[in-house]
Amino acid sequence: MNPRGSSLPLTLLFVAVLVGGLIAERIAGAGTSLTAVMGVRLGVLLAIIGWGAARMMRVSGERRVLWRWTLLCYTVAFTGLLLYTAQTELGARWFGTPLAQAAPKLAVAFQVLFPALIVLGLVPLALLEVSAAAMVRAPVLETARARGALFSGLGTAFVLVFAFSAMYVATQLDATWDLSYFRTARPGESTRKVVRGLNEPLQVTSFFPPANDVGDQVEQYFRELSQESPQLQVERLDQAVEPARARTLGVTTNGVVVFSKGEKREVYTVGLELDRARGQLQRLDQEAQRRLLTVARPRRVIYFTTGHGERSDGRAVPGETPRAGINQLKELLRAQNVEVQNLGASEGLGSEVPRDAAVVVLVSPMKEFLPEEVAALREYEERGGRVWMAFDPDGPSHDSLLEPLGLRYLNTPLANDQVFFRTTRQPSDRGNLGTSTFSSHPSASTLSSLGSQAPVAFLSAGALEPRNPLPTGLGQDITVRAHEATFLDKDRDFTEDPGEERRAWPLVVAVEKATQGKDVMRAVVMADSDALSDGVVPNMANAYLVLDTLRWLTGEESIAGTVSSEEDVPIQHTREQDVAWFYATVFLGPLLVLGVGFFVTRRRGRRAPRDVVEGSAR
């Protein structure tokens, strides 16, 4: 091949003008000089393409084929440059208005296409020139070799375009999959709803040094959460670099997350070492929701009645039977930005329920309320109050409290000999009911979505019955029912006897009634207070029952939902299960291995050729 017929010098000039023009744009800045640079670059490149076309016309045979391929690469790259120019000031002068304003969708298409076309033009051109340079002194041009180089360049260019496109899409979607054993909790449904409900800016500032694993995990969690609402502003700082900002937020070290809104401020200490911060990261969603509620929403006051033998968070009164307390219930409520106070005769229950009461809670009162207290509670309900009641079969029926709600409490315990929680391996375990029968009412919405994955525990339940007819204007919804095999254990022997009816007895009932004022009276009545007691509330389903009930009573059912947690759940076995696992691993496992080996050996013996067997016998 004659060196004078090579397209390499022209290609080098083409690439130099293309790249040099882009550099000159950055130097020119804006205005007339920028437009001049763009115009000169387009003119020079167009002249190079014309010169190459003239050279092609003067050659023939294989040389013309190579020039045709080279000019095709020039044209593709030049087209990409034209698409880029259409989006610049020069393009705005061509069209009379910026392309992004005249045709936004077309501008986006040009923005995506122009780098792809430039790559599709330059990469095959480079490999084509390398192939042609290797044949510069060959007596005969190998067009097949050049074609192979061209196609290799096209394949490489397409791979690059696909890789960058996939990277761009992945960056925009910002989706990750964590398959590790230890995982940081992701934003749960309830926390996302809290963020969506923000009507004022809330700042989350995390303090971590650069390239810190714990900081990266926390940043990823809040970056995902911030996509729910622009009101959540997330920022990551280094306390050592920004000491002034840290002091204003009360932070003196890294490893801290601060939630702030106006003068309100909540701090969550995570730590800097991944091994030590695992527990905090696994509970990150719970702790973040707790602090978001504290900062974003006003604190509500919930009153627990006292003086009637109710379950409490203290020691049992002398002369009363010790019962499980409600410390964990109150802690769960406090985590929802709730202030818990007592309400008895000494706090004025005999005259009026305090005006700041968001909810009044009655947990297993073992004595009847005084008439004056009943009147105060009724007056509270009539002005749109919210009441939460939980009773026990061993207590009174409290007809004076339940009659206005259209309910009757049966002081007869329920039992189930088919579905129950086994705790003592005695017949009395049949009174430990478990159920996953829920309605779609907002006070049980999370449980309804979880279904059989979240059975609620009722350890000593009575039964509720709606009165007929209901009081005027009253609405009821049975939100939780017992299992259909549950029977009314009238003689308390935990065995079904004649006359003890099996059916899905109501365990939780939500009541609603319009009042003369703006507020609507709401009440939730539970047939068992053990469902709210210590040791039972930590059960996931019981916790969601508490949270959904609280949110419906306080009018915040819009933020009901699951909370994410990656904490390890201990695996618990019964004694029979432990014995079964022991014998299975000691005897059954080895026997299974021996059986498989014996079966494989026998099959190999049957497949052996007959002549080989006979020959070995001789």
Q: What is the DSSP string of 149-208?
A: HHHHHHHHHHHHHHHHHHHHHHHHHT-----SSS-PPPPPHHHHHHHHT--S-EEEEEE-
User: What's the rounded Cα separation, in Å, for the pair 438 and 99?
Assistant: 57
More confident residue, 377 or 519: 377
DSSP state of 4: G
Residue 586 is predicted with a pLDDT of 80
Residue 528 is predicted with a pLDDT of 93
Residue-wise pLDDT tens digits, 432-467: 999 999 999 999 988 988 888 889 999 989 999 999
- When pLDDT is cut at 50, 70 and 90, the band that residue 472 belongs to is confident
Pair 145, 240 in one domain: no
Pair 47, 116 in one domain: yes
The CATH number linked to 280 is 3.40.30.10
The CATH number linked to 354 is 3.40.50
Residue-wise pLDDT tens digits, 151-208: 998 999 899 889 888 887 877 776 666 555 456 678 888 889 989 988 899 999 999 9
Assign 595 to helix, strand or coil. Answer: helix
Pair 78, 8 in one domain: yes
DSSP state of 335: T
Pair 354, 472 in one domain: yes
User: What's the rounded Cα separation, in Å, for the pair 462 and 394?
Assistant: 9
Report yes or no: 329 and 546 within 8 Å, Cβ to Cβ.
yes
For the entire predicted model, the pTM comes to 0.63
User: What's the rounded Cα separation, in Å, for the pair 333 and 338?
Assistant: 6
Assigned domain for 461 exists: yes
pLDDT of residue 365 exceeding 50: yes
Return the bridge partners of 465, or none: 408
Residue at which a domain ends, from 149, 173, 197: 173
Q: Which DSSP string corresponds to 78-102?
A: HHHHHHHHTTSHHHHHHHSS-HHHH
Instruction: Tokens for 215, please give them.
Output: 């900081």
- 480 CB-near residues (< 8 Å, 6+ apart): 435, 437, 438, 439, 444, 447, 456, 506, 507, 508, 545
pLDDT of residue 605 exceeding 90: no
Half-sphere exposure of 535 (CA within 13 A, CB side): 8
Q: How far is CA 602 from the centre of its chain?
A: 53
Peptide bond between residue 469 and the one before it cis (omega within 30 degrees of 0): yes
Return the bridge partners of 526, or none: 390, 508
Residue-wise pLDDT tens digits, 554-581: 988 877 777 655 554 455 555 666 677 7
Percent of the chain's residues with pLDDT above 70: 89
Residue 2 is predicted with a pLDDT of 47
Pairing of strands 386-390, 520-526: parallel
Pair 553, 587 in one domain: no
Residue 610 is predicted with a pLDDT of 53
| Residue 162, phi then psi, degrees to nearest 5 | -65, -40
pLDDT of residue 537 exceeding 80: yes
Residue 531 is predicted with a pLDDT of 92
User: What's the rounded Cα separation, in Å, for the pair 317 and 554?
Assistant: 31
Residue-wise pLDDT tens digits, 98-129: 777 778 888 888 888 888 898 988 899 898 88
Q: Which domain holds residue 256?
A: 189-296
pLDDT of residue 246 exceeding 70: yes
Report yes or no: 206 and 222 within 8 Å, Cβ to Cβ.
yes
Report yes or no: 511 and 406 within 8 Å, Cβ to Cβ.
yes
Return the bridge partners of 475, or none: 512
Assigned domain for 312 exists: no
Residue at which a domain ends, from 144, 173, 202: 173
Q: Taking residues 59-86, report their average pLDDT.
A: 87
Q: Which DSSP string corresponds to 406-418?
A: TEEEE-S-EE-SS
Pair 139, 8 in one domain: yes
Residue-wise pLDDT tens digits, 324-352: 899 999 999 998 889 999 999 888 898 99
Residue 178 is predicted with a pLDDT of 57
Which CA distances in Å does 88 have to 25, 109, 479?
11, 14, 63
Pair 377, 461 in one domain: yes
Torsion, Cα 441 446 449 452, to 10 degrees, reads -100
- 394 CB-near residues (< 8 Å, 6+ apart): 366, 411, 460
Residue-wise pLDDT tens digits, 256-277: 999 999 888 999 999 999 888 8
Residue at which a domain ends, from 173, 206, 241: 173
Pair 149, 243 in one domain: no
- Tell me how many domains the chain contains: 4
Pair 432, 336 in one domain: yes
Assigned domain for 319 exists: no
User: What's the rounded Cα separation, in Å, for the pair 99 and 320?
Assistant: 82
The number of residues making up the chain comes to 618
Q: Taking residues 55-80, report their average pLDDT.
A: 87
Residue found by looking up tokens 């067009």 in the block: 143
Phi and psi based region of residue 451 (left: phi greater than 0; alpha: psi -120 to 50; beta: remaining)? left
Pair 457, 488 in one domain: yes
Pair 69, 131 in one domain: yes
